Amino acid sequence: MSLPHAILTALLEKPSSGLELTRRFDKSIGYFWSATHQQIYRELGRLEDAGLIRALPSEVPVRGQKKEYEVLPAGSAELARWVGDSQDPKPMRDPLLLRIRAAGVVGPQGLGGELRRHLDLHRGQLAEYEAIEAKDFPAGRDAVEDRLRRLVLHGGIALESFWLAWLEEALAEVQDMEGEGEAEGSG
Q: In this predicted model, which residue has the larger pLDDT, 76 or 90? A: 76
- Write the pLDDT tens digit of every residue in 124-156: 999 999 999 999 888 888 899 899 999 999 999
Highest mean pLDDT among 38-52, 79-93, 169-183: 38-52
Q: How far is CA 57 from the centre of its chain?
A: 32
Across 91-99, average pLDDT:
90
- C-alpha 156/C-alpha 161 separation (Å) is 9
Residue 182, pLDDT score = 59
Q: What is the pLDDT of residue 180?
A: 66
* pLDDT category of residue 93 using cuts at 50, 70 and 90: confident
**Helix %, strand %, coil % for the chain, to 5?**
70, 5, 25
Q: Which of 67, 98, 71, 90 is nearest to 9 (CA)?
A: 71
pLDDT digits (tens, 9 = 90+) for 3-28: 999 999 999 999 999 999 998 888 88
Determine the average pLDDT of the residues in 92-111: 91
Examine the pLDDT at 187 and tell me if it is beyond 60: no
| Pairing between β-strand 68-71 and β-strand 53-55 as defined by DSSP bridges | antiparallel
